[in-house]
Structure 1
Amino acid sequence: MVFYRDRLSNLTSSISVLAITIGLLAAQSATQKSLAQTSTTPPPAGVTSINGLGASTVNTLFVGTGETNPCPFGSKGSWFNVFGVGNPPSLNADLAAITNSCPVGTYGPVVNNDTFRYASVGSGAGIAAFFNQTVPLASPGPTILAPVSFAATDDPLAGTQIEQTVTIGTGKPNSGKAIQVPVVGVGITLSYNRTGLSIPAAGLKLSRNTYCGILKGTITNWNDSRIRTDNGGAVIAVNLPIKVVRRSDNSGSTFVLSTHLNTVCKTAATSTIQAANIWDKGVGSISTSGTVPPTPPANTVVWPTTFLSASGGGGVATAISANNGAIGYVDSATRLARSLPAALLQNKANVYVGPTTAGIQGALSVGTIVKYGTAPSNRLIRIDNLADPNAATAYPISAATYALFYDVYQNSTTGNLIATHIRTFINWALANSTQPVPPATNSSNPTPDQIAINRGYAPLPNTIKTVARTVVNTCVNTTTGASPCTP
């Protein structure tokens, strides 16, 4: 079984990226930083803190965007602030509905004895921190309390990471091999700054050949004839240079996008692809720029030097908004939170589809579950067949974000609580639509799927949710040497 590629040689560089990313995160939004930085506040008495970090794609889903409105689409509308005690607790204290748009009732967490914390540092830095059980420095980037309890990544574990064993040490209470499950679907959008552009009423359409050319750097102006052809002859701009914005940090979004481009921007997949637009920039989560060497570096994309760069999805969104003619890749949740327009992309069925919940679900519907580990439990789950989904309704650049847990949490009262709360959380967050959600303090609390949809994500199909719950319920524990999941 091949798990994409062996990235052991990049683990050391990923550890370095953990420190580098902290400095780069200054470009992220103040809202994201303020939410993450308050994660160092000690939890209230009797409340267990479960601390995680990683992909920026799920920051909005996990902790929200900082709105003060307690309605489901406000700060209450995030998984962690609905499930557990808010951070700060006032985020989801019992509050009466204050506007006509809020449901009748009061608000309170599903459980009142845990609080999930999350720092958005990027997939690569999150994976490195997970295996090293080391939290980022407190300044200038976001951080969390120690110890690390989980991570999130858009770039599933591969190669020797699959068998890597975490060991107990000073301040490092967890051990065993990684447990990996998908938690939500997300789209990687091509969002743009519409200033100076004349966009048709149906939206901006980009064919596979066109967006391959834009992202390779061979299509450089919005007046390009190929863009006009994609949009029924409409002149999108008379003369406006295209400014592509890419990620500068170690990012799962870069991995998802480059995997897609490496699949689609080839004559075997797209017969109309022009030779100049064939993808040869590499595949991976690490971004750099310059001339592509004869053998591209592992796990790395070598972007054109003319491209702009920014750290984190929030940083890319900010750069897009600040530059006329800009287009860049950001996840569907960040696009929605920043009110950025996004292109409709031509999929494998030659249908132009936008990064909506329905479009992402269309892609997930044809995904296949790949398992690794000892049957029937299997401790690592990955969704394959998403690089170029063939459903007519599929948004073509769709992916799943994965949560990483430890096989063994410290065998103590705290460890037992963390393992128990993780299992309870996953059973709530990944409940099937036909399965009752664990009771909240009242009926006003939104469901996990509603939160995901409101925030620009796509709930996983029930078949995948069921597998993920089984893995977590079986594998996440406090027993050393007797796990059914890590022989």
Structure 2
Amino acid sequence: MDSLMKLSRWALSAWAIALAAGLASCAPSTPPTDGGSPAAGGGTIAITGAGATAPNTLYQRWFSEYRQVKPNVQISYQSIGSGAGINQFLAQTVDFGATDDPIKDEDAAKFPKDRGTLIQVPTTGLFVVFAYNLEGVKDLKLSREAFCGIVDGSIKTWNDPKITKDNPGVNLPSSPITFVFRSDGSGTTAIFTNHLVAACPNWKAGAGRSIEWPIGQGAKGNEGVTAQIKQTPGGIGYVEFTYARENNIPMATIQNKAGEFITPTPEAASKALDGQKPGANFVIRVPDPEGKESYPIVSLTYVLLYGNYPAPKGSTLKDLFTWTLKEGKTAATELGFIPLPDSLVSEVVTKLGTVEEK
């Protein structure tokens, strides 16, 4: 994985993506590679997965497009949260799990021994934003002091001086702040709270998929938090970028470790991953990136696979995720995710090749 250290950018350049999209529109869909033709002939192959809500929009796009090239592969993905997805995977009620928070040792210890070796591989990069509902306010800036105070409850109203000082000329109301958090076991929460631990000196609630929040209202899934913010004047919460963008919810520009205010964009998020070297099971942790231009709340998201499957599911899953990594980069970029660099894709495909059929 040392080759990843040589990367200068994760996200593909704008011109390369435009070129790729243009070529794709003029050419037939590329068939899946690696894993043969598991869906050629015969009946329907049903694949089920469950877990992380953050990448759900991308997964649904990928699985729909894959169906166009492998018509008798039907993929059903339940967007139920990373914690629930891990539980279903360990209970063997789905063919793959999905999580934004790499599986913990205590969970991995419950992996069924007759299914070979647990396989965890990344699918894409993503980032978490502060989405908010303030009438007439479209360009909110939040310093670390400000957003740390919002989440720990020490800042209670929108016109608090710690917020207004970075927003001159913005008419911030005296109304109370309503913080919205995830009520379910969530990889998005793990990403967000790991950043709070690193960025907020007074944060006492720790980090993880589920924590005891000091204040606020809970909602289930990125979908639920998004809906709660939309219907709550004065609301603010954390969601994956595409949920805020697709629902036209404003996102705060936030201060990073270098002291710069960074607008949440895929380009700024990709800079947080520059030069990062994956550890065991492809884990990359950047709770508080150093880069001056880096958006600070960024992570990879992962799928969990069994080491062996009954035929033809093993070859189908290898083929599916190889296809998403290679042919799905344009969709990932269009939706606001961060495609994996080619060097890492190559390593992930090699790992996928270890899946066996019995």
Tell me the TM-score normalized by structure 1: 0.63
CA displacement at 1:151 relative to structure 2: 0.7
Q: Are 1:336 and 1:455, in contact at CA under 8 Å, matched by a contact in 2?
A: no
Distance 1:461-1:229 versus aligned 2 partners, 3 A rule: farther
Distance 1:81-1:198 versus aligned 2 partners, 3 A rule: closer
Aligned to 1:283: 207
CA displacement at 1:237 relative to structure 2: 1.3
Residue deviations 1:314-352, cap 9 Å, x none?
111111010111000111121122111111111122222
Cα distance in 2 for residues equivalent to 1:187 and 1:344: 13
Aligned to 1:477: 356
Q: Which of the numbers 60, 66, 70 marks the counterpart of 2:57?
A: 60
Cα distance in 2 for residues equivalent to 1:332 and 1:234: 26
Cα distance in 1 for residues equivalent to 2:305 and 2:251: 33
Aligned to 2:218: 309
Aligned to 2:323: 428
Cα distance in 2 for residues equivalent to 1:466 and 1:390: 27
1:387-406 maps to which residues of 2 (within 5 A)? 387-406=287-306
Aligned to 2:43: 46
Larger Rg: 1
Aligned to 1:336: 245
Residue deviations 1:17-72, cap 9 Å, x none?
xxxxxxxxxxxxxxxxxxxxxxxxxxx97221111000111111111xxxxxxxxx
Cα distance in 2 for residues equivalent to 1:407 and 1:118: 20
Task: Extract unaligned runs of 5+ from structure 2.
Answer: 1-40
Aligned to 1:184: 124
Matched, 1:119 2:78: yes
Cα distance in 1 for residues equivalent to 2:209 and 2:352: 26
Aligned to 1:198: 137
Q: Relative contact order (alpha carbons < 8 A, sep ≥ 6): 1 or 2 greater?
A: 2
Aligned to 1:105: none
Q: Are 2:315 and 2:357, in contact at CA under 8 Å, matched by a contact in 1?
A: no
Which AA in structure 2 matches 1:343?
A: A
Structure whose residues are more often helix by fraction: 2
Cα distance in 2 for residues equivalent to 1:165 and 1:247: 26
User: What value does the CA root-mean-square deviation take over the aligned residues?
Assistant: 1.8
Residue deviations 1:154-174, cap 9 Å, x none?
110122333443155xxxxxx
Residue deviations 1:283-303, cap 9 Å, x none?
1111xxxxxxxxxxxxxx221
CA displacement at 1:188 relative to structure 2: 0.9
Aligned to 2:38: none
Q: Residue 284 of structure 2: SS of its match in structure 1?
A: strand
Which AA in structure 1 matches 2:55?
A: V
Cα distance in 2 for residues equivalent to 1:265 and 1:126: 29
CA displacement at 1:361 relative to structure 2: 1.1
Cα distance in 1 for residues equivalent to 2:234 and 2:257: 27
Matched, 1:81 2:20: no
Residue deviations 1:132-166, cap 9 Å, x none?
113xxxxxxxxxxxxx1101001101223334431
Distance 1:355-1:110 versus aligned 2 partners, 3 A rule: farther
Matched, 1:153 2:106: no
Task: Extract unaligned runs of 5+ from structure 1.
Answer: 1-43, 64-77, 85-108, 135-147, 169-174, 267-277, 287-300, 372-379, 410-414, 432-436, 438-447, 480-487
CA displacement at 1:471 relative to structure 2: 1.0
1:212-251 maps to which residues of 2 (within 5 A)? 212-231=148-167, 233-251=168-186
Distance 1:238-1:112 versus aligned 2 partners, 3 A rule: closer
Distance 1:229-1:462 versus aligned 2 partners, 3 A rule: farther
Q: Are 2:45 and 2:74, in contact at CA under 8 Å, matched by a contact in 1?
A: yes
Tell me how many residue pairs correspond in the alignment: 318
Distance 1:466-1:393 versus aligned 2 partners, 3 A rule: farther
Residue deviations 1:225-267, cap 9 Å, x none?
1112222x2344131211100111111111111111001112x
Matched, 1:129 2:38: no
Range moving further from structure 2, 222-231 or 244-253: 222-231
CA displacement at 1:389 relative to structure 2: 1.1
Cα distance in 1 for residues equivalent to 2:264 and 2:173: 27
Cα distance in 2 for residues equivalent to 1:314 and 1:157: 23
Cα distance in 2 for residues equivalent to 1:367 and 1:208: 24
Matched, 1:353 2:262: yes
CA displacement at 1:476 relative to structure 2: 1.2
CA displacement at 1:198 relative to structure 2: 3.4
Cα distance in 2 for residues equivalent to 1:308 and 1:399: 24
Which AA in structure 2 matches 1:388?
A: D
Cα distance in 2 for residues equivalent to 1:466 and 1:224: 49
Cα distance in 2 for residues equivalent to 1:238 and 1:124: 37
CA displacement at 1:383 relative to structure 2: 1.3
Tell me the TM-score normalized by structure 2: 0.84
Which AA in structure 2 matches 1:59?
A: N
Which AA in structure 2 matches 1:194?
A: L
Q: Percent of counterpart pairs with the same letter?
A: 35
Q: Which of the numbers 147, 155, 158 marks the counterpart of 1:211?
A: 147
Cα distance in 1 for residues equivalent to 2:130 and 2:171: 16
